[in-house]
Structure 1
Amino acid sequence: MNAYIYSAWFLDTAAHEADQDREWVACIGIAASSPDEAQRWGDILAQERSHRVLGDQFIRSSVELESDSDASDISDLPRIGAGDRASDALIGW
């Protein structure tokens, strides 16, 4: 298993078009056997959120190996395994 950083972008459809926070991103760490598996699982969770919170439209996602990340501090990043259910509170979105 490798550790990946999964990023999901959402569009807050209720926000004004000029609102700089209308499009926002959430990141989580996902342990998976491949980047495709990490992205597939992250997309499932993001799409489920998009169905629960109707104003937040899932736009796109990306995934990268934690070891390849340019992020300066990922110590507080929520972490799950591929296939693990996680609450919105745990994920932080």
Structure 2
Amino acid sequence: MTEFPIIHTNVWDSLWAVPVVMLITEIMKKLLPIQPQYVSTIATIIGLLISIFISHPHNLAGGIFMGFFYSGAAIGSYASLKTSLRAYRNRP
């Protein structure tokens, strides 16, 4: 039976990687004509690049695994902030 890979991560990686993914995605949306359906794919690619090459450079499995978490957290945080802001603006 094969064992799952051990992924050593740090909470600080998440605290800087998620905002960086959000920031780079927003900058790309402003500078390039990106259609809305591709924004989450771009965030996922950015999260994977950050995780594989910066946070986990010597562990490909860990880099891929955590890259999906970084991008998912960034996409979810953006959607939550956008929904909250819209609800706040439309309140009576």
Length-normalised TM-score, structure 2: 0.39
- Larger % of helix: which? 2
Q: Which structure exhibits the higher relative contact order, with contacts defined as CA atoms closer than 8 Å and separated by 6 or more residues?
A: 1
- Larger % of strand: which? 1
Larger Rg: 1 or 2? 2
